[in-house]
Structure 1
Amino acid sequence: MSQYRELKNEPAASVDQVRELEAQLKEMSRQLQEKDNKIADVEEELAIVKKAVHIFSKPRN
């Protein structure tokens, strides 16, 4: 019976289940790092665009 039980609040009993959870954690950490990197890139691009808009919106004499 314990082989087919899936209670979320129950501690991980099998080594396979622990390995699976560790693999999921590693994958989610990798995805989070990718998203953090992408956000940093987009923020940098936005800063560049803001500077360009500021420069080109100045009146010419």
Structure 2
Amino acid sequence: MGEIRQRFTDEFKEQTVRYIQEQTKTIPQIAEELSIPAGTLQRWMSTHRKFENEPLLDREAIRQKDKQIHDQELEIEDLKEEIAILKKAMHIFSKERN
């Protein structure tokens, strides 16, 4: 026979997502703990996720975030330089020639 499908309220889903964000456990571990399929939890994460409660998992994650920030800062500096060059070029080429 068919399985009875559980229905969860939005409030329960939001609380569960908040719980997932506050844990350092993986989603499959939490899914087993709560007896809810991991795919369902993944779906809830994509729709109800708020980022203020998430801990950084480990030092490697912090290093990766720092590297990403550093790389983005370098890219921003390069883009600013390119914009400055383009502004100068535009100024030079837009002058009237006699």
TM-score by length of 1: 0.71
Following superposition, the deviation at residue 14 of structure 1 comes to 1.1
> AA paired with 1:43?
K
Runs of 4+ in structure 1 deviating by more than 2 angstroms, as ranges, are 1-5
Secondary structure class of the residue paired with 1:13? coil
Aligned Cα root-mean-square deviation (Å) = 2.2
Matched residues, number: 53
Gaps of 5+ in 1: 57-61
Q: Deviations over 1:27-60 (max 9, x none)?
A: 0000111010000000000000111xx123xxxx
Map 1:1-61 onto structure 2 (within 5 A). Answer: 2=24, 4=26, 9=51, 10-51=54-95, 54-56=96-98
Following superposition, the deviation at residue 8 of structure 1 comes to 7.0
Query: Is this contact kept in 1: 2:24–2:57, CA < 8 A?
Result: no
Gaps of 5+ in 2: 1-22, 28-48
Counterparts of 1:28 and 1:35, CA distance in 2: 10
* 1:30 to 1:22, Cα distance in 2 relative to 1, 3 A: same
Identity over aligned pairs, percent = 17
TM-score by length of 2: 0.46
Counterparts of 1:21 and 1:8, CA distance in 2: 18
